[in-house]
Chains A and B, each alone.
Chain A
Amino acid sequence: MLTTEKLRQENSADGVSRRALLTGGLATGFLLAFHLPLRAASYAVNEPVQPADVTAGKFAPNAFIRIDETGNTTLIMPQVEMGQGTYTSISMILAEELDADWTKVALLHAPPNDKLYGNPTFGLQVTGNSNSIRAWWKPLRTAGASARAMLVQAAAAEWQVDPASCTTSRGEVTHAASGRKLGYGALALAAQGQTPPKDVPLKDPKDFVYIGQPLKRLDTPEKVNGKAVYGIDALLPDMKFATVAACPVFGGKVAKVDDTAAQKVPGVRKIVVLDDTVAVIGDHMWAAKKGLAALKIEWDEGPNARIGSKEIWQHLRAASEKDGAVAKSVGDIAKGLATGDKFEASFEMPFLAHASMEPINATIHVKPDSCEVWTGTQIASRVQSEAAKAAGLPVEKVIVNNHLLGGGFGRKLEPDMVVAAVKIAKQVDYPVKVVWTREEDIQHDVYRPVYRDTVTATLVDGKVAAWKYKVAGSAVLARWLPPAFQKGIDIDAVDAAVDAPYDIPNFHVEYVRAEPPAVPTGFWRGVGPNNNVFAVECAMDELARKAGKDPVEFRRAMLANKPRALAVLNTAAEKANWGQPLPPRVGRGVCLQPSFETFIATVVEAEIDELGEVAVRRVVSVVDTGIAVNPDTVKAQIEGGLIFGLTAALYGEITIDKGRVQQSNFHDYRMLRIDQTPKIEVHVVKSGEPPGGIGEAGVNAGPPALRNAILAATGVALRRMPIDRSLIAMGKKA
């Protein structure tokens, strides 16, 4: 009988082996030995998907750079690629200071190792919070520069010249005075014996050759022909396939399972009953699905079976009336609120599912003394330790093979799918790929929390004189990274609230921790700033109306001390034809945001018909993210982020009834599609500031800018997401 792996080899489109790619290169001339995603034609059960990080016989100056004697340069990626382009940008940063030959660059995923590859901001391997470039900018430049200096030292020693008289470019050291040159490959072994310099100088940004260029992404050629391998594509000899049903009520358990019918489904191999989940293992996903459908499962629904959206919102609204922990206070808020023209409004945001296109999955092989994991995760080291706990093994006995992620958006900052898959795989001696159906993926997510944000403000002389902003919602950080939760403040939930760019003499931000009953919450693309930017920018538009001012003019008057924010606002207004006449029922809405150390001004133009239907016509975003490592990636992230945010604004809401999620798939948890996509124009500002975050920033902008466009077109001030078409149709004015 042919194994799956044998079949895979036979079906491999061109039968190209990993070795052939490593040595032969691709037609593009790039080595691009993307070890991990290649269709591994010859690995056996115990072999990891990607080759180990071999340092012997190579120049290996640090955890990130390996240069062999032929000059092939392998860069080890501490952050994961989930579409945001970080593999390319991180490589560009390393290659820049190393003066590497870009055509000889190959990439390798970092293995789980917090000491070597821990995100400098978090102290563990995390790809999130739009901080890959921000966190690694300096450390990776230093790693590249230090390696370059060692190569120069090796060449200078060989030539017996002053290292300062040598230069580097594209993988070569040159001594101009004598006309001598040596490639990095020829210098690799000698460089390995050099001492890394202290305080190595970094390049002046004006000398950058890669950074700032729209270089082609390194991960995309294999994504046009089916060769890219995501976690869900792992294939192993003799593997089986499983799918799961978790108790539909949060916190419920399995009471009883009758598997008589399921056992008779052809291809079903085993039924696994866990505490709160039932899994069926079969010869393929179809057998597993059919088997699962044939099971009769009784659930012990537990205490959450009576919880619904109504109770959740009552709970949150009550909590939001309480005083919160003070996250920031400038001036005298009590005094400030005592005078002037008063405004108060609360803004509500729903639960949201991540719905990455690759449903959650993990492939696991548990053996008596080891456990191997194939998945795509944003948290490799945490997956390793959680898998070890679930398998009952020491951490070092767990191998994690990370993969490209088919979208992460924060869902893959959680290890739950790996833990469940390990518990399932523990019951058998063969490898099992556990794939959640879309329905299970949507109904067993960790959800973007519900938030209720209240802004109380006063206007004096047409400007905001006092601003009290209270965020109420889940403290995801308190669960996810407990040491970061201090003094009752979730710094993520108020991130863009405390950084609001406006000059307001009495400025006060509070946070009330309110964990929703029953529903687990987690990070969702755009994280805390999603709720902050929405509340701040919606309130600013209402305040502008109250003051009788144009929304852009109103904001501009409070930005004298924030030149970057002011500049993007002015440019966006100009590019979007702000102030120029529009047809009836068409409006423009603006959003200004400081999130992830990136300043963005966005103008959405939308047409709203009398029945409340909304068509987004055009979006203009002007982005100052400091140095844009790869400007085309910055543009792409804003384009995509805007769509992600607009999707949430137009459709996104997870509702709860009887302790269960009511949505299940893309028919009732809708996504924006190409025929609803507006024209999007992104302008990236040239800047010398350190890079800001970009992967999530666009998401923040969509909902408030669209909501403000609806306000401009109709006079209806929506205060809840997603947009309520019936409120617009009824024309309830602000």
Chain B
Amino acid sequence: MATTLTINGEQKSFDAPPEMPLLWVLRDILGMTGTKFGCGIAQCGACTVHIDGKAVRSCVLPVSAVRDRAVTTIEAVGNSPAGAKVQKAWLDLEVIQCGYCQSGQIMAAAALLAATPNPDDSDIDAAMAGNICRCGTYVRIREAIKQAASGRQS
């Protein structure tokens, strides 16, 4: 069944079962591998994308539920002001280690900043606690979100 989605501002058409999670459409049909598979049950956040600007776990989101909503992935998050600020802060503070979870971390952080431009610690906890980082980069993630919010340079 042909489905058309708007992903990163472009129309993409493909055949996929309606219940197929968006994650696998992105990775295995569209070849957009920046969005990662971590757990498959919305426990780790590695697969986070934006649906109409909101952070959503794509591993449990049936592709048919997306409909005409705008999908943004890590490949294009830098086109938004919040996404670009987050990417810059991530590099300035050298947040990343293995990097596998960081697509999801960046997507979650960008959605947070777009909705809450000056988050406090509890805002950060609430927005980011769904994203696991096995390398343990949490201290720097917190700091980088604050830096991205304030616009200050490292």
Contacts and interface: CB of A to CB of B under 8 A. Distances in A.
Contact of B97 (A4, A83, A667, A675): A83
Contacts of B87: 224-225
Contacts of A226: 32-35, 73-75, 103
Contacts, number: 201
13 contacts: A216-B91, A224-B90, A226-B73, A233-B27, A285-B28, A286-B21, A356-B134, A358-B36, A405-B98, A435-B37, A636-B94, A642-B136, A675-B126
The 4 closest A-B pairs by CB, nearest first: A226-B34, A643-B136, A406-B100, A83-B98
A644 B134 contact: yes
Interface in B78-96: 78, 87, 90-91, 94, 96
B31 A7 contact: yes
A665 B41 contact: yes
Interface residues of A, number: 71
B45 to A, nearest CB: 10
Interface in A1-34: 4-5, 7-9, 11, 13
Interface string A253-275: 00000000000001100000000
Contacts of A404: 98-99
Determine the main DSSP class of A at the interface with B. loop
A404 to B, nearest CB: 7
A632 B94 contact: yes
Contact of B102 (A223, A632, A643, A672): A223
B97 to A, nearest CB: 3
Interface in A223-264: 223-230, 232-233, 235, 241
A700 to B, nearest CB: 14
A636 B34 contact: no
A115 to B, nearest CB: 29
A8 B29 CA distance: 9
Contact of B29 (A229, A284, A405, A640): A284
B132 A671 contact: yes
Given A438-B38, A666-B39, A409 B134 contact: yes
A36 interface: no
Contacts of B73: 226
A167 interface: no
A176 interface: no
Interface in B136-150: 136-142
B135 A407 contact: yes
Nearest to A9: B31
B100 A241 contact: no
B115 interface: no
Nearest to A642: B136
Nearest to A228: B99
A267 B17 contact: yes
B33 A85 contact: no
A225 B78 contact: yes
B119 interface: no
Nearest to A239: B28
A260 B110 CA distance: 46
B83 to A, nearest CB: 9
B44 interface: yes
Contacts of A266: 17
B43 interface: yes
Nearest to B79: A13
Given A225-B75, A357-B134, A636 B98 contact: no
B61 interface: no
Contacts of A11: 12, 30-32, 75
A266 B15 CA distance: 11
B41 A285 contact: no
Nearest to A285: B24
Nearest to A226: B34
Contact of B101 (A85, A357, A643): A357
B46 A217 contact: no
B140 A357 contact: no
Contact of B31 (A217, A235, A679): A235
A357 B47 CA distance: 11
A340 B31 CA distance: 69
A495 interface: no
Interface string B36-76: 11111101101000000000000000000000000001111
B125 interface: yes
Nearest to A215: B94
Contacts of B124: 674
